[in-house]
Structure 1
Amino acid sequence: MIDEAAVPGGNVSQSTVPHPLVDEAGEGFVVSRSDAPLVGFGAGRAGLLVEAARAGVRVILLTPASSRLTFAMLGFLELVGGVWVVEGSDGGLRLGLSGQRIAALAAALAVPVDAEVEVDALRSSPAAQNVLTVSMTVSHKPTVDTQLGRTTELIAEELASSRPSGWGVHEPAGLHWNTQNVTRFARQRMPRDSRLVVAAENPAALSGLLTVQRSAKGVTETTKALVGVGDEQQTWAAIEDRLPRLLGSLAERQFPLFGTVFLGRGESDLTTAARLPQPPFPVAMLLGPQAVRDLGIDTDAATERFGATVVGRRRIPSLIVPFTSDRTVGWHRFRDFAGAFGSERFARALGFGSALSDAQGANRAS
């Protein structure tokens, strides 16, 4: 379980992390190599990331260019400030996600924005499909009736036509899915965070991560999921029909804070390959009652100006804001909506400044 408060990357010379998956070390980092075609977030790598976080160093995961990472492996590696580096057949090194060339492993910790991109990273995957990246944060009261994991179930049922089948603190997520057991596990760990891996009955349809944290008013639950939506016809059926139903259900059954849905291209098995795809673009946002109130949104005006839909409870409404199916238009509408309230105020009201920054960064990259 990765919930360490240590911030990786401190002043550590020739780092020492006593773990069998450490292959070499440098100033402020350790290197872990894998030749596996698919690198997952197994117990060993989970332990390595915990030990590295405790030691205040960063992990460089070094693989061949042909390797792929699971959603969980990539998510937890990024959580602790780790970096994925791939090695070409000629021995050249590049970042797995951006394709930027680096001269040495140590350079992976601080790569210039304008670093040259390796041509091989631009090659598309013949097995790619459209993938929705869904992130939903809801708030719960700290009561005995609180049940965690229902958001995950709704995303799986509504968008992926599947159900969660397993959960765990690492892969494989071998514990039978049960919201009562997930809730009990997180409750016993409080006030520490709980970060879990979620598997679905159809692994190609959904891969998820669940984070549970204590908040000033109770418990915050964040669900992040990749959902495979196949070809173009299947994609727009999901976005135009099932997505509004999902967001409406969340607003009625939960107390949502903030949610985003992005569309991009991904692997058929929802893993991540060392290729440089087009950045995803926003297709919808869910603003919970607190965000609607803090931003002072006039729901009638938002409906007329942005095509928003009012959902949830009448006295404390939530708002679904669509950003269309076109990449360029979607980003324009996203900026227009955020700009209507001032970007900084928008981020503060939502309490998710990093999410907004990620979105704006992806927009600049596109």
Structure 2
Amino acid sequence: MTKDVITLTPRMPDPWSVLAGLLAGGPDKLVNTAGEDAVIQLCDEQGRPLLSVEAPLLVQVRGEAERLLGANPPRVPFWWTEARATTGVPDAERLAGAFAARLASLSGGSAWPPQAARSTAVVETTGLTAAPAPAAAQPAVDVLTDKVAVVIMDRPVVAMTAWLSDAFRAAAASSRGLQIVTPAGTTLSPAVLANLPGWPSRWVVQDDRDGYYDGHTGAVLRWQEGMFATVVPADATADDPRTPVAASYQEVRASADRQLAITFRTVHPADDRLVLGGALETVWRELTGEPPAGWGTAEPANLPWSLGRLTDLAHSRAPEPTWFVVVGSPERPGLATLKVTRTKAGVEEDVTLAFGYGADEEPPLDALPGVAQTLVTRHRLQSMLLQLRRARRDLAVPPRFEGPGVPLAFVLGAEEVRALPDDRARRTPLSQQPVALGPKTRPAYYYPLPGDPSDLSGWADFERLVRHLKGA
């Protein structure tokens, strides 16, 4: 299993420090660049990469090293430098550790994991070569077949790093799935799970009992025909596939932690004066009493929260869509993904947001109608779904079964209500009447749902509501 090695330093590693780190492989190794010169690679005699080092990232957001690594970082701001050893190469991991140990020593920082960076000595690399894999030009990809790109990661939390984002894009561009392989103790960032496409992409978990299984569904997997695929029993039929489920996935752990999940979309007229992210900030302030802590286009989120800078970046990339990750403070775990897209309707913001609460904390459910009212009147809300689920306070996704959320409410924006015929939006088959939001002449509607975490019948009510609104 490959180990990434990460250096956390209070000052930016200078070129001489990076060079000294690269010389951990000896003076005879070749140096190359990739990713528009954002990645430095230490290569064998044939030019194949043994070690890939990403450009240092300045992290100005408190809590990101703790969230993603469980590490104690230098005081914010600090520099985050990732090094990744090539999979399947003997001693490549020691080479990555020696690089990180040298960089940390010269730049006054620390390395993660600590045991990987114990020595600054030169690693004997005579005869050390990398396999001529077709994925060599993509540092994050370890195995490439005609069906999938496989990324092997051994870290506490698999995050949507810049490397992993590149792997997602490369796999999609080549019409391949992306399969992420991790050990059993690893969790996923919600940002990764939200971006993981459908089949054949999946999260593959190594398991002592069942070999491999899907961390999201629990299905037992085997490597077959160039990818990890579900095990199909000999007596399986189309109507009864009988897919085996890993025992580890079924080990449900009772928890009093809860998550408040919010998904919404806003649509704005395209205007050079448009400021993006305001709806997300409004929700964050209303529910936590503070704005988001930071944002970025990958994890770790490295920039302090700023509507202006976020808007400028999205505007510079238009008409191409821009994806952001937004995080909260360590005291109130929160994580959102925001996708800004230019469409015929205008500029759309798609937000998926979750806050975590411990056993002794109450989610602010009473504030939700007020939040919806503000989004309707100030941010052109199109639709919103509110859910409550029993899941980890830290928001990390474990490789075992977690119960589904239950719907608390659904909100339909004023323009969408106006587009429905007759009085359909107001007269629904639900027992509870909707609450009108915004101006009486152009109302939006807030549809309360049962929201009991122990009762999934709320989904049946939600389905009835959606079918009614669609006229089915």
Kept after mapping to 2: 8 A contact 1:39/1:73: yes
Which deviates more from structure 2 when the two are superposed, residues 252-261 or residues 288-297? 288-297
Letter of the aligned partner of 2:427 in structure 1?
A
1:278 aligns with 2:406: no
Q: Shift in Å at residue 22 of structure 1? A: 1.7
CA distance in 1, matches of 2:331, 2:216: 22
Pick from 162, 186, 196 the counterpart of residue 43 of structure 1. Answer: 162
118-127 or 287-296: bigger deviation: 118-127
Aligned residue type for 2:188: L
Shift of 1:56: 2.0
Please give the alpha-carbon distance, in whole angstroms, between the structure 2 residues aligned to 1:320 and 1:285. Answer: 6
Partner of 2:348: 220
Deviates more, 1:146-155 or 1:325-334: 325-334
CA contact (8 A) 2:262 2:385 kept: yes
Q: 2: distance between equivalents of 1:111 and 1:53? A: 25
Match of 1:325 in 2: 451
Distance 2:242 2:344 in 1: 41
Which residue, 415, 433, 440 being the options, matches 1:307?
433
The question of whether the paired residues in 2 share the 8 Å contact of 1:33 and 1:61 is answered with yes
Q: State the match for 1:119 in structure 2.
A: 247
TM-aligned CA deviation for residue 58 of structure 1? 1.3
The structure in which a higher percent of residues are helix is: 1
In 2, Cα distance between the equivalents of 1:188 and 1:198? Answer: 19
Q: Decide whether aligned partners of structure 1 residues 341 and 74 sit closer, same or farther in structure 2, where only a CA change above 3 A counts.
A: closer
Confirm whether residue 173 of structure 1 aligns to residue 288 of structure 2.
no
What letter is aligned with 1:325? Answer: G
Normalising by structure 2, report the TM-score. Answer: 0.64
1:319 Cα deviation after fit:
0.6
**Whole-Å Cα distance in 2 between the matches of residues 289 and 111 of structure 1?**
48
Deviations 1:58-112, CA, capped at 9 Å, x for gaps: 1110001210011112222338973111011346110011111112265645677
Q: Structure 1 pair 15/337, CA: closer, same or farther in 2 (3 Å)?
A: farther
C-alpha distance in structure 2 between counterparts of 1:338 and 1:127, whole Å: 31
- Alignment of 1:191 with 2:316, yes or no, is no
The normalised TM-score by structure 1 is 0.81
Select the structure of larger CA radius of gyration: 2
| Contact 2:321 2:341 (C-alpha < 8 Å) held by counterparts | yes
Q: What is the percent sequence identity of the aligned residues?
A: 25
Computed over aligned residues only, the root mean square deviation of the Cα atoms, in angstroms, reads 2.6
Shift in alpha-carbon separation, 1:287–1:114, aligned structure 2, 3 A? farther
Equivalent AA in structure 2 for residue 188 of structure 1: S
Residue 58 to residue 15, structure 1, CA distance change in 2 (3 Å)? farther
Q: Which residue of 2 aligns with 1:10?
A: none
Q: Which residue is equivalent to 2:369?
A: 244
Query: What is the CA–CA distance in structure 2 between the aligned matches of 1:52 and 1:300, rounded to whole Å?
Result: 45
Q: Which ranges of structure 1 fall in alignment gaps of 5 or more residues?
A: 1-13, 347-366
- Tell me: higher relative CO, structure 1 or 2? Use CA pairs within 8 A at least 6 residues apart: 1
CA distance in 1, matches of 2:180, 2:337: 20
Could you list the per-position Cα deviations for residues 16-65 of structure 1 after superposition, in whole angstroms to 9, with x for gaps in the alignment?
57312222223310211111121111122122222222222111100012
- Change in Cα spacing, 1:73 to 1:203, as seen in structure 2 (3 Å) is farther
Distance change in 2, residues 1:331/1:217 (3 Å)? closer
Q: Which structure 2 residues correspond to residues 225-236 of structure 1 after superposition, within 5 A? A: 225-231=353-359, 234-235=362-363
Counterpart residue identity of residue 463, structure 2: R
Deviation at 1:146, TM superposition (A): 1.4
Cα distance between partner residues in 2 of 1:211 and 1:203: 26
Aligned residue number for residue 3 of structure 1: none
